[in-house]
Amino acid sequence: MQEYILLAILLVLFFAVILSTRYLNKPIKSLFIIYYLVLGALFVMVKERIDNAYEGATTPNVNWIVNNEWVADIRHLLFVPMIGLLIYLLYKGYKDPKGPWKRSNILGVTIPLAALLAVLYFLFTYTYGYHS
């Protein structure tokens, strides 16, 4: 299970974003939490099944192709909703004059946040797709 530490870190970061926002109500937060928990469990189960099924394969490319397709699907299912949620939260933070963020701080948050997401996206792809 040590190989899934990056997935656990991603899920914890995503949960922190979801739970700490004040712009989502409780049912929406619960829906996001359930979505990411199910997706994380599904990823681990199917990845283990792929690794076990192609463990003794005569052609190593078969495992690599199937694994990369699975990782690409999960990667998009993990990151696209979170990117959409972060765009929504940044927009709501910008529109809320009483919020904790100043409008000038939005740009200062957006660029590092985009860089962090890009790094996590690359790490997820490399760790579970190419490196695996």
Output the tens digit of pLDDT for each of the chain's 132 residues.
688 999 999 999 999 999 998 889 999 999 999 999 999 999 999 999 988 887 776 676 777 888 889 999 999 999 999 999 998 988 887 787 666 666 667 777 788 888 999 999 999 999 888 765
The DSSP result for 7-21, as a single string, is HHHHHHHHHHHHHH-
The residues, any chain, with a CB within 8 Å of residue 94's CB and separated by 6 or more, are 101, 103, 106
Dist. CA 55–CA 124, nearest whole Å: 22
Dist. CA 36–CA 45, nearest whole Å: 14
**Domain extents for the chain?**
2-130
In contact, 77 and 39? CB cutoff 8 Å = yes
In the Cβ-directed half-sphere of 15, how many Cα atoms lie within 13 Å?
Answer: 14
